[in-house]
Amino acid sequence: MSEAPRLESVAVVGAGALGAMYAAHLAAAEVEVVLVAAGERAERLRTQGLTVNGAPLDIPVLDPSTDGHAPFDLVLVAVKAAQLEDSLDLVAPLVGPDTTFVSVLNGLDSERVIGERFSPEQVLLCIALAMDAEREGSAVRYTAPGRLEIGDSPATVTPGEGGSERTEAVAELLDRAGIACTVHDDMTHRMWWKFLVNVGGNQASAATRTTYGRLRQEPARSLMVALQDEVVAVAAAEGVRLTATDVQRWYDVLEGQPADGRTSMLQDVLAGRPTEVDIFAGRVVELGRRHGIATPYNQSMLWVLSALR
């Protein structure tokens, strides 16, 4: 395989905790990086700015509807699921045939949506793990940046041939920026594992207003386990085997989280923002209906957390 091209320009779509944290890492590595926004949001980012761990995030804000730019090497999508379609329309003028997409969105479907809008070959599979970034107002803080796990979609590569040039190029860029990264051959399984984590940990913490420390204790822990058991069942029906080892891996991650840390869904609930319950509980319930599997705990989460909107 020829040497992977070096990625030099990154458009970050979404200036929340994760988007700002990754943008700060890329800027510190002297990569050309911009925040993509439009209209009033772009003007607010330009005038008010953001800080990351107390330091100003001094990078351009680019509005594709008014600001021209050549296609970017990489588009990092860090919006919420409900904003995905609009964000892809926004960033479209900045995308060329060689542009690669990495999505750090939760859930199982953002990569498919991006691939349908552009090309599946341009989209890597990705999950973000073990970070504790939070945004309050214009201030983003984190103590653990976590890591990204990336890989090719099974639909775009031949098994056994190794990672694509796109995957190699993104891994090299992340390493250059000091963002921990692991390349996996079976990202489908890894994405389902992250789905298990989110459906259990995020939803149980949000419904009970529970920090990571309390999530390790009863009764929140039992609720988390019950939600995850339903994920294991629907995953098996979809041809993905989640084992006791997978579940234990999450418990190991949970033990390493700060006791007073808050999941992203708990942060949304406390801030009065819409949650991602539709792509967590809603997706489990949908799959349960498709395969004839009962999902009462996730159905309850869908009712309870939807009522908080």
Question: Do 155 and 213 sit in the same domain of this protein?
Answer: no
Is residue 141, in this structure, part of any structural domain at all?
Answer: yes
Same domain, 179 and 205: no
Rounded Cα distance between 235 and 223, Å, is 19
pTM of the model: 0.92
Question: In this structure, are strands 147-151 and 123-129 parallel, antiparallel, or unpaired?
Answer: antiparallel
Report which DSSP code applies to 101.
E
Closest of 4, 140, 171 to residue 78, by C-alpha? 140
Closest CA to 226 of 247, 246, 211: 247
The maximal CA–CA distance of the chain, rounded, in angstroms, is 54
Q: Both 201 and 53 in a single domain? A: no
Top-confidence residue, 62 or 161: 62
CATH of the domain at 232: 1.10.1040.10
Q: Each residue of 172-207: pLDDT tens digit?
A: 999 999 999 999 999 999 999 999 999 999 999 999
Written as one letter, the residue type at 60 is: P
Per-residue model confidence (pLDDT) at position 1 = 46
Residue range(s) defining the domain that contains residue 100? 9-185
Averaged pLDDT for residues 156-172: 80
Q: What is the mean pLDDT of residues 94-106?
A: 97
In whole numbers, what is the pLDDT of the chain averaged over residues? 94
Residues 180 and 194 in one domain: no
Specify the pLDDT at position 157.
Answer: 62
Say if residues 129 and 140 touch (Cβ distance below 8 Å): no
Q: Which residue has the tokens 């992203």?
A: 264
Residues 46 and 153 in one domain: yes
Q: Is residue 88's pLDDT more than 50?
A: yes
- Quickly state the pLDDT bin for 305 (edges 50, 70, 90): very high
208 and 171 in one domain? no
175 and 81 co-located in one domain: yes
Least confident span in 153-167, 178-192, 225-239? 153-167
Q: What is the mean pLDDT of residues 60-76?
A: 96
Q: Do 255 and 175 share a structural domain?
A: no
Number of Cβ within 10 Å of residue 248's Cβ equals 10
pLDDT at 159: 53
Q: Check residue 309 and give its pLDDT.
A: 67
Q: Is a pLDDT exceeding 90 seen at residue 292?
A: yes
pLDDT band at 2 (very low <50, low <70, confident <90, very high): low
For position 173, which CATH number holds? 3.40.50.720
- CB neighbour burial string for 135-153, b if at least 16 within 10 angstroms, e if fewer: beeeebbbeebbebbbbbb
At which of 185, 206, 238 does a domain end? 185
Confidence of residue 156 (pLDDT cuts 50, 70, 90): confident
Q: Are residues 267 and 211 in the same domain?
A: yes
* pLDDT at 289 exceeding the cut of 60: yes
* Start-end of H helices in the chain: 17-28, 39-48, 84-91, 110-117, 165-176, 187-197, 203-208, 212-215, 220-237, 244-255, 264-271, 281-291, 296-306
* Cα dihedral 308, 138, 125, 187 in deg (nearest 10): -70
Q: Classify residue 4: in a domain, yes or no.
A: no
User: Is residue 3 a part of any domain in this protein?
Assistant: no
Whether the pLDDT of residue 158 is over 90: the answer is no
Paired residues of 11 in beta bridges: 34, 75
β-pairing, 55-56 vs 51-52, is antiparallel
Does any domain span residue 2? no
Among 138-152, 215-229, 254-268, 270-284, the range scoring the smallest mean pLDDT is 254-268
Q: How far apart are CA 114 and CA 84, in angstroms?
A: 8
Number of domains comprising the chain? 2
* SS3 annotation, 249-292: HHHHHHHCCCCCCCCHHHHHHHHCCCCCCCCCHHHHHHHHHHHC
Same structural domain for residues 178 and 194? no
Residue 247 predicted with pLDDT over 90 = yes
Same domain, 97 and 238: no
Assess if residue 30 is contained within a domain: yes
- Position 256 scores a pLDDT of 86
Domain boundary among 185, 217, 241: 185
Q: 54-90 b/e with 16+ CB inside 10 Å = b? A: eeebebebbbbeeeeeeebbbbbbbbbbebbeebbeb
Domain contains 1: no
Same domain, yes or no, for 178 and 197? Answer: no
Which one of 161, 185, 209 terminates a domain? Answer: 185
Percent of residues, the chain, with pLDDT higher than 70: 97
Average pLDDT over residues 108-129: 97
